[in-house]
Homo-oligomer: A and B are copies of this chain.
Amino acid sequence: MNDQVDAHLIETKLKSQALFSGAFLHAFRDTVALPDGTEAFREYVIHPGAVMIIPMLELPGQPLQLVMERQFRYPVQQVMIEFPAGKLDPKESTLACAQRELLEETGYRAKQWARAGVMHPVISYSTEFIEIWFAKELTLGESQLDPGEFLEVFTQTPAQLQKACLAGEITDGKTLTGMFWLQSLLSGERSFEWVSAST
């Protein structure tokens, strides 16, 4: 962002007030100066950031499969189909978080990792970002779900996933964004830098 060029768009913080601090949600109301100098309020939640993993399972003689989850998401009152994901622990790198969450939720370890990109799921009222990682050369161990975490792990091919997205069966924003990145990888539109996991 070029602050000088974008001065006609940028809002500046005047003061910040904590709205509340829950066990998970922490919300603020800031008073800001708009580009024309008038004042407005911005209410938002702060979030530590998260990762999403696109785990690619290649078994000998079989088509590529993606490791996915089915999980009940209380705010939307639905069982959602998603790529594995989770929140960053304090001071945790996004790659370390991706490796931890993939293992905890699915039981898979991956030998090769490549960063796809970052997405902001809800820019109007949350600071959250989600770093998206591809994972390949998977080996299956034991999943280690957190207490109180209930989910199903399953696999499907990219074509099956694409079909489910087009049919409206997958509506999770991060997973649909993952489809965009997966297509760019599989089509060769963009190359990605793979790194070996230090396990």
Contact = CB atoms under 8 A, between A and B. Distances in A.
B171 A174 contact: no
Contact of A11 (B11, B72, B172, B189): B72
A78 B1 contact: yes
A34 B148 contact: yes
A115 to B, nearest CB: 10
A68 to B, nearest CB: 14
Given A19-B22, A120-B76, A128-B122, A165 B148 contact: no
Contacts of A34: 148, 150
Contacts of A168: 117-118
Contacts of A124: 73, 75
Taking residues whose C-beta sits less than 8 angstroms from the other chain, chain A's interface range is 35 or more
Interface in A160-199: 162, 165-166, 168, 171-174, 176-177, 179-180, 183-184, 189-190
A150 to B, nearest CB: 5
A71 B20 contact: no
A2 to B, nearest CB: 9
Interface string A38-69: 10111111000000000000000000000000
Given A73-B124, A190-B166, A79 B10 contact: yes
A162 B189 CA distance: 10
Interface stretch (A24-32, A88-96, A133-141): A24-32
23 contacts: A6-B70, A22-B27, A23-B29, A23-B43, A24-B125, A27-B27, A44-B75, A45-B45, A73-B120, A73-B124, A75-B122, A75-B124, A75-B126, A76-B129, A121-B122, A121-B173, A122-B122, A122-B173, A123-B173, A129-B171, A173-B173, A176-B176, A183-B183
Interface of A: 1, 6, 8-11, 19-20, 22-25, 27, 29-30, 32, 34-36, 38, 40-45, 70-76, 78-80, 82, 117-130, 148, 150-152, 162, 165-166, 168, 171-174, 176-177, 179-180, 183-184, 189-190
